[in-house]
Structures are given as C-alpha cells and as structure tokens.
Amino acid sequence: MQYANITGWGKCLPPAVLSNEDLATFLDTSDEWISTRTGIKERRISHVSTATLASLAAKRAVAVAGLDATELDMVILGTACPDTLIPNAASFVQASIGAVNAAVFDLNAACTGFVYGLSIGTAMIRSGAMKKVLVIGADRIPYFLDYTIRDVSVLFGDGAGAVVLEACDEECGLIAEKLGCDGEARDILAARDSGTVRERFAGVDGFFDVNFEGQEIFKRAVRGMGQAITCVLEKLALEPEQIDLLVPHQANLRIIDTLAKRMKSPPEKVVINIEKYGNTSAATVPIALCEALEEGRIQPGDKILTAAFGAGLTWGAAVIKWGSRITPLAECHDELPENDKTALELIMPWVEGCRAAVAEKAK
Ligand code: ACO
C-alpha cells in the first residue's frame, strides 16, 4: 500500500502590510469593527503576480523536501486568481522552478483549492501513477474586490503556501478526506463577471461585479465544514479529542472558534494566524501548516485535521497523519523582487477605479 507523505513545506507572503487603520482611510470602517467581527488586524498586498508568489512558496517547499524540482511528477496549483487563464498559472510555476518533468494544472475550488489539491495529489501517488507531487495554494483575492463595499473588502489578503508529497510505505500523509460543494448557493459568493460571461467591449474596464452574502456564507461554512469533519472522523473511527492539531481555513475567527468548540479543541490545539494575513483563500491552510511546523507545534505521528470552504460553495475536510520528519532538509534563500510601494499605494488605483465605476453605473 502506497501513502503520500508530506516531506516539504513552504510559504510566501508579500511584504506590503495593509492594516485595518489603512482600510479606514478610505472605507467607512474601523479597526475595532474588523477585529471584533473577523479577528483580522492586517493583511498583505502583493506587488507581484499569483504565480510568482506560488513559485517562491514552491521553491521553499522543494528545498525543505531536499529534492531537485526535476524530480517532481506533477504540480497542482490551487488558485482562483491565475495571472492568465490561457496559459494556466501552474505552467509559470513549472518554468520558474525548473520542474521540467512535471504535468501541471490549475485547480479552481476557491478557498478549498489546497484541500482539493491535496486529495488529488495523494490519490495520484496512492494509485501508483506518480511518486512526487507538489501541491500549492496561492491567491490574490484583493485584486477582484469592490472597494466600495465594506463588508467584503476588509476580509482578504494575498499569499501562497505549498507542500511536497512523496510516495512512502508507512501510513502517513492524507489518510481520509471528505470533499463537496453546495452548487445551488454558488451565487452568494461570486465575482459574477470574472470569466467569459463578461460581455466583451462593454461594461467598465477593471471593475468586477462582486456578490457577497456574508451571513449566509458564514452559516453554510460552519455547516459544510462541520459535516465534512464529522464524516472524516467517522471514516477513521476517531474521537475529536484524538486530533492533535486543528488547521482550519482562516476566513473569520468566529467561524474558527465555532469549529474549535464543536471539536472541543483547546486553544493550543488550534492554529490561528488570521490576525496577520486575513483570508488568503487557497493559501490559508498551507501557510498555517507551514507556520505550525516552524513553531514546533507538529510532532512525528500527529493527527492533523484541516477544513476549508470557499466560493462554489466548495467545502472539505481532511485528516493528515504526520510522518517522521518535522525539520527541513535544506533551505531556499530566494526572495521576491524588491517592492518600493506601501500596501495603500498598491491598492489605491483599484479603490479609485471602483469608485469611478460605481459612479458611472449609477448614472
Ligand atoms: N466595517 C464597519 N461596519 C461594517 C463592516 C465593516 N467592514 N461591514 C459590515 N458592517 C456593518 C453592516 O453594515 C451592518 O450594519 P447595520 O447593522 O447598520 O446594517 C453591521 O456591520 C453588521 O453587519 P453583518 O453583515 O450582520 O455583520 P456580520 O457579523 O455578519 O459580519 C462578515 C460580516 C464579517 C462578512 C461575516 O458575515 C463573515 O465573516 N461571513 C463569512 C465570510 C467569509 O468567510 N467569506 C470567505 C469567503 S471564501 C472564498 O472562497 C472567497
């Protein structure tokens, strides 16, 4: 029996920090409201493309695994924000890290993209078709936001995280998952004109028609992740107390607290970093996993439960049994290109564009 051990991990957060106070300079909001309703204090805004963030997270993960990128059989990039639709963003990653022998594709399950990718990568290894698979979650949701709407535009940040999966004989890696989607509610979280449905040569350039029904998403997130968690625990005949660490999607601290309460998980068993990065969509889970390892919160053999939900409304949960190694085999010293702009300077053109588009539409 083949398993897919996680042997490498890496993350990439762009340097520009957008604080709640920064947002309050152009939105009718406050640090107090954002902190208490979401748990977010700040988020990152990228000066580079999604695929560039993904590539650096990938290089770091490949180094930690002690591999050469030419050894990879597949690259799965979970993203809803590819630089281009044609070609896919995963091909940029392949070229940039030198994974010349890898099959590559983008996977769009929004915030659940990494968990879906982990499931597919694991299945490819367990079937015997592949030996080494790189799974990345990378997103730049702030690019799509309507900065005239205050509830949605305070929630998201940019980032990327990655893991390397390698075939192994011992039971480790992803050992159970449950994935799903509430397609009938797909409109409640949508950039409705972000694809070919958009009328060409009409509409306002650069503006996306975002629909976001926060309270309904909140309810469905708790329900979808809750059901998926119950299902994976049942599959493995595990009691919640037997989970060593909960690594949830970071969308809202209140959602995380609700899940932790259901799992009866004390704070030391829950990874929370939403205050620093906001919701980085497909990147939240691999970034949180990476930080848990860096902080020594994962031990060999630990059972880690992860759960996520996102646009679609996709949802999923998975149990990972950690292998024997919790330290990197090597380090990658590459960095992103220099950035000379503040986060506010990076997003103000979008804010002004959104205001102009909304004013134009109202005419
Ligand atoms: N600043 C100040 N006030 C605000 C803000 C803001 N940023 N946003 C909303 N408010 C106001 C509202 O206007 C409302 O005022 P009113 O009572 O005068 O009408 C009040 O605050 C309460 O609004 P609610 O919508 O009831 O606030 P709620 O407690 O539901 O929190 C939130 C809103 C944070 C969006 C919450 O619903 C949520 O987190 N939902 C889940 C969202 C989520 O996780 N999305 C992830 C998507 S994943 C993906 O795939 C992209």
Q: What is the pLDDT of residue 30?
A: 98
Contact 306, 163 (CB under 8 A): no
Contact 259, 223 (CB under 8 A): no
CATH of domain 3-327+336-362: 3.40.47.10
Q: Pairing relation of β-strands 189-191 and 314-321?
A: unpaired
Angle at 50 between CA 44 and CA 51, to 5 degrees: 140
Q: Where are the domains of the chain?
A: 3-327+336-362
Non-local CB neighbours of 131 within 8 Å, separated by 6+ positions: 73, 125, 166, 167
Q: What is the pLDDT of residue 206?
A: 85
Is residue 271 in contact with ligand 1, taking CB distance under 6 Å? no
Closest CA to ligand 1's atom 40? 214
Closest CA to ligand 1's atom 35? 214
Which atom of ligand 1 is the closest one to the Cα of 313?
A: 50
- CA–CA distance, 139 with 157 (Å, rounded to integer): 8
- What are the average pLDDT values for consecutive 10-residue runs of the chain, which has 363 residues? 96 98 98 98 98 98 98 98 97 98 98 98 98 98 96 97 98 98 95 89 81 94 95 97 97 96 94 98 98 98 98 97 98 97 97 94 85
Expressed in angstroms and rounded, the spacing between residue 214 Cα and the centre of ligand 1 is: 6
Expressed in angstroms and rounded, the spacing between residue 218 Cα and the centre of ligand 1 is: 9
Q: What is the pLDDT of residue 1?
A: 83
Q: Examine the residue annotation and report whether 168 is marked as an active-site residue of this protein.
A: no
Q: What is the pLDDT of residue 361?
A: 84
- CA–CA distance, 302 with 262 (Å, rounded to integer): 20
Expressed in angstroms and rounded, the spacing between residue 150 Cα and the centre of ligand 1 is: 8
| Candidate from 19, 21, 22, 37 with most ligand 1 atoms within 8 A of CB, to mutate | 37
User: Counting beta carbons within 10 angstroms of the beta carbon of residue 195, is it exposed (0 to 12), middle (13 to 18) or buried (19 or more)?
Assistant: exposed
- CA–CA distance, 68 with 75 (Å, rounded to integer): 14
Q: Examine the residue annotation and report whether 249 is marked as an active-site residue of this protein.
A: yes
- CA–CA distance, 163 with 159 (Å, rounded to integer): 14
Expressed in angstroms and rounded, the spacing between residue 157 Cα and the centre of ligand 1 is: 16
Is residue 33 in contact with ligand 1, taking CB distance under 6 Å? yes
Q: Examine the residue annotation and report whether 47 is marked as an active-site residue of this protein.
A: no
Non-local CB neighbours of 352 within 8 Å, separated by 6+ positions: none
Q: Report how far apart, in Å, the C-alpha atoms of 235 and of each of 104, 121, 275, 308, 324 are.
A: 31, 20, 33, 18, 23
**Across the strands, what pairs with 179?**
316
Q: What is the pLDDT of residue 315?
A: 97
- CA–CA distance, 145 with 351 (Å, rounded to integer): 9
The pTM of the whole model exceeds 0.85: yes
Closest CA to ligand 1's atom 39? 252
